[in-house]
Structure 1
């Protein structure tokens, strides 16, 4: 049985990617692996097929919602993974699946479940240091609140008299054909109640809600990772009389840092050293993500790529008392623009080493010895 790769990974995008950025990523990947540019390369051809399959699903809002909820299982069953049979979800059938996928967004599910207002999605950018310490952010959202004129009844008449909805005839639901799907959703006229007001409120026009900008305080915990989604129950849009408000989903984007790079709970910092520091050994002071400094002893003979570990100097792990580590990656820098005297000193150093550099430079000596043996063997 073949293993399906995550569609988002195939296109190298996050799960919160916008439709515009999704299209850009698809074009970039498709151009890179197009068969005309990789003639005879079967791997590139297979990759190109995967890219098109992934984009075909993610560009469609309904298919993407199904994939986000059920993964590849949503498209198994005889249609080549491109919007297929929806097998494996029990005897409820396609209608139940769409009720599960879109029930919350459309204001509830079949079977008398409570109706809800629309959910709100918002993205918040924070710095790496804010992700380390945690932060409380004020987020401005465009939402709908309970109408202050009619107090959510939708009626200008204090009695709030209603009549049967003419659109759904009291069912609270309507059906629509979308391609080969028959989708059942909440009635857009009565919002699932099956009733409409006889004398609509002049402020909200009978909806029971009105548009408003609000500022919501979001508590972002320490150790949060890029792409984390925070759910704030009941902070979404109001839905009118007798309808529970939706939820607010805050997508956290952690910006890159000029000094530190993060990998899970661990932090990496590249420290360049002068050639003399690496050769003679030294002690350097490096910054820590918590805003402090610490000293790291560099032994003599340190090479580029060597790593020094600072325990417990990384990120905290969500829902855990564990903490990551900080790693110092060393890069030895060769000097540029030597003065005459510096060049003389280096030439003296080279002369002093003589023909045998094995002790001073074992790696390069070993490499060129292998090269010599290679040519002699030929």
Structure 2
């Protein structure tokens, strides 16, 4: 009997170790909603309940919280004049070949700095294959676009200009178009000290403007810094689920609500006409097939439709998809390259959240949306 007890205890311990390694808490304490409210609104994240993290996430983990403002790089410091110039260029359709499309055509502040479409219209009404990402808080990212093809905001600024499907313009002609507008000379002099118009200065000005697009005063931000009554009981429950049983925190962490990494969330649409391997097209690494950059969840309530392909029309669709834990796609009788079959991230697991919990999670996500200022387009130089 003594030995059987030893084996039983050993077995239980080994099982607990395995579950712990998988990120499953064996002794998660139970809290009332009022206790959770007091902990999360204490202004001290060290008092928060422990998050449900996988071992890989624990390395360098930063929790969600109040977002500050982005910093500006030493090579492109902030100035008000540069921001004003960048904002004007952002709205100017003369940056494009057709003279009809501007950056704001796909990144409209009235539409959450996106365009509200599944995929965007570009030059000659061509459509791209990915959803236009919001520019909210873009200054906090380390990689840009869904696939991470740009590594600085300055570099990012001219990718759409040159894309044949988007603005279809050469950088040489873009520079010439802006240089031909006399009023811009004054703006470039104010921003850079002289009137020279160059591609590099256009990039720097647009990037400076884009870093000013910040959302950091949501109800969530105010709640976690002491305004304990700003979230409903349901929203508090959703916040706790987000960090624990729903496991969202494993990818959507840091005050940005993004880990700035690439993950395969099972949406490569392998073998379909919309197949997209994401970051793999840049890295060439097998493990990056179907991996896309983790988007921030700030302002997620107004940045739909969702996912890189824009196929999820409601936020509830997204929540329910992840609750299913990356269900196997419908098998189609098509010829596919098996060597490139995407392997979804192990972070994805069936969650078994009930309808009430899903509703609470969705309610919390909407606390990240603010009534941000939606600026009117600026007057464009040389256009009456």
TM-score by length of 2: 0.21
| Higher radius of gyration, 1 or 2 | 1
Structure with the higher helix share, 1 or 2: 2
By relative contact order (CA 8 Å, sep 6+), the higher-ranking structure is: 2
